[in-house]
C-alpha cells in the first residue's frame, strides 16, 4: 500500500522494493508451509483438516506498553507469538499457523529484524505454528506487533468460557503472579532486596514477565476434560470473573491454594501487600479451567504427562456475581481492581 511519507526517499530503490527485500531477507525463511507461497503472493491458503472447526485469535503487543523497547528483539517476537499460542492452548486448539503484521519505526534496522525473525522462527518451529503471511508497515510510533494465530479442533469442540457449572472445580496451571512481580522488578530493581529475593528468584520472576510459557501441550486434555477454560492474561481475579460471567455462575476460591513460585512466596512473605498484585496482575499466560470433580484426577494425570502442573484452587458455585477469593481467615479478600485494562 502506498504511504504518503517521503516518497522522494524511494527514488533510488532497485527493482525489489525495500519492503520486499525486508520480507525476503528476514521472514521468507520462516514461511515453510506450502500455503505461505514463500510470502510471494497476496494471501496464504490452507486446506482445513477434515471434520474440524477453524479457531482464530488475534493479539497485539506494543513497544512501551506490553514490552520494553530495549527488550531483546527475539524475546519480543516470541512473546508476541506466545500470547496468541496461549489463547489457542486454552481453547483446546492445535495451532496451524499465524499471520504477522509488523509496524516498524525508522530506527529499527536489519540487525534488530534478524534477531526478531530468529526468535519468531524458533518458536514457530517449537510450537508447530508456521508463519503464513502478513504485512509490514512504517509507523511514527513504537514497534507494534499484531499476530493472528489459528488452529483446528474437531468440529464443535473448542473449549468455551461459558461451560462452567455449579459444583465444578476450578484449576490453574503453573504458578500465578510471577510475571506481575517480574514487571515490578523491572520498574524498580530495589524491589528484589525489599522482597528478600536471591538472584535466582529475581531472574525467575523477570524471565516470566519477559517470556510466557504457553500451555499448548495440554490442549487435548482441556478439550477432553474441561467444561470451560481461558488463558489468564489480565489477572486471575479478573479473568475468573469473565469466565463466571460467561457461564452465568459464581465461584469461591481459596486464595491460599493459588499456586505460587518459590520466588513469589518469598516476596509475599516479606511484602504481604503483594497478594493483590499476584492475584490481579496480568501476563501469567497460565490456563484457568473448570471441570466436574470426577474428572480432575484424569486431567491432572494428562497434564502431568505433558509436563504441566495443575492446582485445584476452588469451586464454581450457583448464582452470579464476582468470584470470591477467601483469605486465611475465611473472609473474602477485597481488591481495588480486578484486572488490568489500559482503557
For residue 138, give the C-alpha cell: 512504517
The region of 122-130, 165-173, 258-266, 280-288 touching its own copies under the rule CB under 8 A is: 280-288
Q: What is the CA radius of gyration of the chain?
A: 21
For residue 99, give the C-alpha cell: 499471520
Contacting residues for 115 by C-beta, under 8 A, at least 6 apart? 72, 73, 74
Q: Does 64 bind its own copies (CB under 8 A)?
A: yes
Coil/strand/helix, residue 52: strand
Find, among 209, 152, 162, 167, the residue nearest to 185 by Cα. Answer: 209
For residue 81, give the C-alpha cell: 507469538
| Residue 168 CB, nearest approach to its own copies (Å) | 17
Which residue of 57, 175, 216, 261 would you call a contact of its own copies, by CB under 8 A? Answer: 57
Q: Which residues pair with 95 in a beta bridge?
A: 151
CB 237, CB 314: distance < 8 Å: no
Which residue of 131, 183, 222, 255 would you call a contact of its own copies, by CB under 8 A? Answer: 183
Rounded distance, CA 224 to CA 247, Å? Answer: 18
Q: Does 58 bind its own copies (CB under 8 A)?
A: yes
Of 177 and 259, the one with the shorter C-beta distance to its own copies is: 177
Residues in the chain: 343
DSSP line for 164-204:
--TT-EEEEES-SSHHHHHHHHHH-TTHHHHTT--HHHHHH
For residue 88, give the C-alpha cell: 489457542
Q: Does 268 bind its own copies (CB under 8 A)?
A: no
Q: Does 111 bind its own copies (CB under 8 A)?
A: no
Q: Taking CB under 8 A as the criterion, which residues in 190-229 touch its own copies?
A: none
| Residue 230 CB, nearest approach to its own copies (Å) | 5
Count the residues of the shown chain that bind its own copies, applying the rule CB under 8 A. 99
Q: Does 27 bind its own copies (CB under 8 A)?
A: no
Of 30 and 153, the one with the shorter C-beta distance to its own copies is: 153
| Residue 312 CB, nearest approach to its own copies (Å) | 22
Q: Does 271 bind its own copies (CB under 8 A)?
A: no
Contacting residues for 315 by C-beta, under 8 A, at least 6 apart? 167, 168, 169, 170, 251, 252
Sketch the per residue contact string, 312 through 331, with its own copies: x for CB under 8 A, - otherwise: ----------x---------
Q: Does 309 bind its own copies (CB under 8 A)?
A: no
Which residue of 121, 172, 231, 278 would you call a contact of its own copies, by CB under 8 A? Answer: 231
The region of 155-163, 194-202, 252-260, 291-299 touching its own copies under the rule CB under 8 A is: 155-163
The region of 118-126, 154-162, 194-202, 306-314 touching its own copies under the rule CB under 8 A is: 154-162
Q: Taking CB under 8 A as the criterion, which residues in 28-47 touch its own copies?
A: 35, 37, 40-47
Rounded distance, CA 205 to CA 211, Å? Answer: 10
Amino acid at each position: 500500500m502506498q504511504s504518503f511519507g517521503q516518497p522522494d526517499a524511494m527514488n533510488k530503490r532497485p527493482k525489489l522494493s525495500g519492503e520486499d527485500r525486508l520480507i525476503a531477507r528476514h521472514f521468507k525463511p520462516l514461511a515453510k508451509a506450502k500455503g505461505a507461497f514463500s510470502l510471494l503472493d497476496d494471501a496464504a491458503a490452507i486446506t482445513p483438516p477434515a471434520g474440524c472447526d477453524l479457531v482464530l485469535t488475534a493479539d497485539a503487543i506494543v513497544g512501551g506498553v506490553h514490552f520494553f523497547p530495549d527488550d531483546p528483539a527475539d524475546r519480543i517476537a516470541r512473546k508476541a507469538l506466545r500470547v496468541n499460542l496461549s489463547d489457542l492452548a486454552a481453547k483446546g486448539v492445535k495451532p496451524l499457523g499465524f499471520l504477522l503484521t509488523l509496524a516498524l519505526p525508522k530506527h529499527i534496522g536489519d540487525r534488530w529484524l534478524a534477531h526478531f525473525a530468529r526468535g519468531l522462527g524458533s518458536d514457530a518451529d517449537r510450537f508447530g505454528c508456521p508463519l503464513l503471511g502478513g504485512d509490514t508497515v512504517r509507523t511514527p510510533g513504537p514497534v507494534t506487533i499484531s499476530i493472528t494465530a489459528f488452529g483446528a479442533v474437531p468440529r464443535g469442540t473448542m473449549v468455551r468460557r461459558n461451560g462452567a457449572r455449579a459444583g465444578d472445580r476450578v484449576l490453574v496451571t503453573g504458578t500465578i503472579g510471577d510475571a506481575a512481580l517480574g514487571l515490578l522488578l523491572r520498574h524498580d530493581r530495589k524491589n528484589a532486596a525489599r522482597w528478600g529475593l536471591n538472584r535466582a528468584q529475581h531472574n525467575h520472576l523477570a524471565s516470566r514477565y519477559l517470556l510466557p510459557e504457553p500451555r499448548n501441550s495440554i490442549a487435548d486434555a482441556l478439550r477432553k476434560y474441561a467444561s470451560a477454560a481461558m488463558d489468564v492474561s489480565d489477572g486471575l481475579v479478573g479473568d475468573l470473573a469473565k469466565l463466571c460471567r460467561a457461564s452465568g455462575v459464581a465461584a469461591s476460591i481459596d486464595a491460599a491454594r493459588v499456586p505460587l513460585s518459590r520466588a513469589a512466596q518469598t516476596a509475599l512473605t516479606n511484602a504481604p501487600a503483594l497478594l493483590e498484585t499476584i492475584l490481579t496482575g496480568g501476563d501469567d499466560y497460565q490456563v484457568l479451567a473448570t471441570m466436574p470433580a470426577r474428572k480432575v484426577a484424569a486431567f491432572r494425570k494428562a497434564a502431568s504427562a505433558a509436563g504441566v502442573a495443575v492446582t485445584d484452587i476452588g469451586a464454581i458455585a450457583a448464582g452470579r456475581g464476582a468470584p470470591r477469593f477467601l483469605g486465611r481467615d475465611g473472609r473474602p479478600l477485597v481488591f481495588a481492581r480486578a484486572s488490568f485494562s489500559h482503557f
